[in-house]
Structure 1
Amino acid sequence: MSRPVTVGVDGSEGSEAALDWAADEAALRGSVLRLVYATRWAEHQLAAMKVSHEDRASEAEGVLAATERRVRDRQPDLVVTADEVEDAPSSVLLAAAAEADLLVVGSHGLGSVRGFIVGSVGQEVVADAQRPVVLVRPGNDGSGSGPTGERNRRKVVLGLDVADVKDELLEFAFDFAGRHSVPLEVVHTWHAPFTERRKAAEDADKASVLSDAVRPFRDRFAAVEVSEVSVPGRAAERLVEAAHDAALVVTGRRRAARGSHIGSVTHALIHHASCPVAVVPHG
């Protein structure tokens, strides 16, 4: 049985944006959409507030019912499951991610009191999930205005370090672009040398290395339209810029022990990219 597309829901505006994105993605993949609700979200922000089990269950029931209605209006043929879990958001989402094809989470500018992606919770989910995590904020779902989330040929952007190529990132980006029939732009950045002559030599060398890294996936995903961009500059700045007209930007995160650091590039993207961000664990 295939893994579901799983989305964390909590009734917030950011959660709704993530839900819409996840519903469209699940429909495209022919997957089950799994909704998960953590009933102990409040304890992270309001530890002093006493919330009974009954109150938590009642709120969860209301949120999940409204969420399912929203999905039915958007994707009426989608198979949907819903789970209320009485635990903290980070624990719920990490457990859900382990069983998912990908986990989708929302935020309100990464600073909502009620949204899942809040401070340490969001950092932990992105840093520790063993499956890809897609972060979606209101207004940056990367879709068109139609009910099926049309991407309108908007590209997928992949940030790639040619000195440390990870197949997991290339696989995810090519597969996603192929499923959505959109172009893929693979971006590699490097520090610019001081002289123009050296710059020209570096340009040619880096472009050649990038092409070598991408070629096996070009062959496997022949239908995907691919462009390769090798430019001097800071990776975070270049990728945020490239994400301006993208449907999705893909970045990586090394698998490590719990509490691992997500990296400066990924940190910049989840805060500043104007489209959804997929964080793909590797290694």
Structure 2
Amino acid sequence: MDLPVVVGVDGSEPSLRAVDWAADEAALRGVPLRLVYASLWERYEGAALAEELGKPSERVRAEEIVESASLRANLRRAEVKITTDVLPEEPEYTLLRESRTASLLVTGTRGRSALTEALLGSVSLTVAAHAHCPMVVVRGSHDNRAQPATHGRIVVGVGEKPTSSAAVRFAFEEARLRGAEVEAVRAWRCPAHETTDHPLLAGEPARLHEQRAVEGLEAALQETPDDVRLRRRTVEGHARTVLSDASHDADLLIVGAKRRQRHFGLQLSRVTHGVLHHSACPVVIVPEPE
């Protein structure tokens, strides 16, 4: 059975961009598209209260939002089979459950709440930290249309333990689907305590760290398929900054996520958190096995 691309919708402009992007991706993969709206308002308040207040039921509004999103997706990609659902649940809970049976989970950068205008929405952050399948946060546009893939370039971040990277494998898969080039980027830094002012030693610690980065990048790319065009690049700097900069002329930025267990729950790394907030193109978070 072909697992669907699942997209969370709520009527906001970012979620409409996510619908466009998800429809294109479902068409590329030849899989169904599933549109999901989740809200607890109907469960807690109910249609009776809505009628009493002279306002439409949240359920009715949700169904209108989903129907409109479905029509939009159908107009964009008529060949894609579309299913919809409206659920009286917390959005985070619904999307995490959906991620168990999805090939890809897609959200916008934020929801309808004005409180999240300046930052990535709390739903997207929460789901990115726990999703069971690769998750896409659609960034890089300021209207309600997803930008077409025009650069032919996919950037994948390669971390310090790159062997058998699920993110790299996902990048190769996307490159095949899109006919795009993969640029594998490894950031490196020379710790401050290893620098020296001696003219005969200047640059030596940095050279060693750069060489380790080159070797790590090669190790991550040993199993590159013959049909994938690949560029390798090592860059000195913070990984979150290097990858965000690389996203400006990319169609997709892919990073792996090894969720870190904390006393208050699983958390995204600073690199992942940084690119989710600052990338200029859609970001894919790929779960990495421990």
Which residue identity does 1:21 align to in structure 2? W
Distance 1:41 1:167, change over 3 A: farther
Deviations 1:183-202 (CA, angstroms, capped at 9, x unpaired): 11111112125332333343
Shift of 1:242: 0.5
1:18 maps onto 2:18 in alignment: yes
SS in 1 for 2:133: coil
Report the secondary structure of 2:266's partner residue.
Answer: coil
| 1:122 CA drift (Å) | 2.6
Change over 3 Å in CA distance of 1:112–1:33 after alignment to 2: farther
What 5-or-longer segments of structure 2 have no aligned partner? 51-56, 196-201
Further displaced range: 249-258 or 156-165: 249-258
- 1:77 matched to which residue of 2? 79
Letter in 1 for 2:220: A
Query: Cα offset for 1:51?
Result: 4.9
Cα distance in 2 for partners of 1:131, 1:200 equals: 37
Counterpart amino acid of 1:19? V
Q: How far apart, in 2, do the equivalents of 1:225 and 1:259 lie?
A: 39
Q: 1:205 to 1:153 in 2, by over 3 A?
A: same
**Once superposed, what is the RMSD of the aligned Cα atoms?**
2.7
Supply the distance in 2 between the matched residues of 1:100 and 1:16 (Cα, whole angstroms). Answer: 19
Question: Residue 212 of structure 1 aligns with which residue?
Answer: 219
* CA distance in structure 1 between the partners assigned to 2:30 and 2:21 by the alignment: 14
Indicate the residue corresponding to 1:263 in structure 2: 269
Question: Deviation at 1:167?
Answer: 2.2
Q: AA paired with 2:24?
A: D
Correspondence for 2:207 among 200, 203, 226:
200
| 5+ long unaligned stretches in structure 1 | none
Distance 1:262 1:89 in 2: 19
Are the structure 2 counterparts of residues 144 and 224 from structure 1 closer, same or farther at C-alpha, using a change threshold of 3 Å?
farther
SS, match of residue 129 in structure 1: coil
Amino acid at match of 1:225: R
Relative to structure 1, is the Cα distance of residues 255 and 19 closer, same or farther in structure 2, using a 3 angstrom cutoff? same
Residue equivalent to 1:155: 153
Higher mean C-alpha displacement, 67-76 vs 160-169? 160-169
> Measured at CA, do residues 282 and 262 of structure 1 come closer, stay the same or move farther in structure 2, by a change above 3 Å?
same
Alpha-carbon distance, 1:56 to partner: 2.3
1:176-216 Cα offsets, whole Å, 9 max, x none, are 11211111111111212533233334333421331122121
Post-superposition CA distance 1:122-153 (Å, at most 9, x none)? 32211111111100136179x986xxx3x224
8 A Cα contact 1:5 1:33, kept in partner: yes
Structure 2 SS opposite 1:65: helix
TM-score (norm. length: structure 1): 0.85
TM-fit CA distance, 1:256: 6.3
Q: TM-score, normalised by structure 2?
A: 0.83
Equivalent-residue separation in structure 2 for 1:260 and 1:129 (angstroms): 11
2:71 aligned counterpart, secondary structure: helix
- Distance between the aligned counterparts of 1:138 and 1:205, measured in 2? 33
- Larger of the two Rg values belongs to structure: 2
Question: Which among 123, 126, 129 is matched to residue 127 of structure 1?
Answer: 129
Aligned position for 2:279: 273
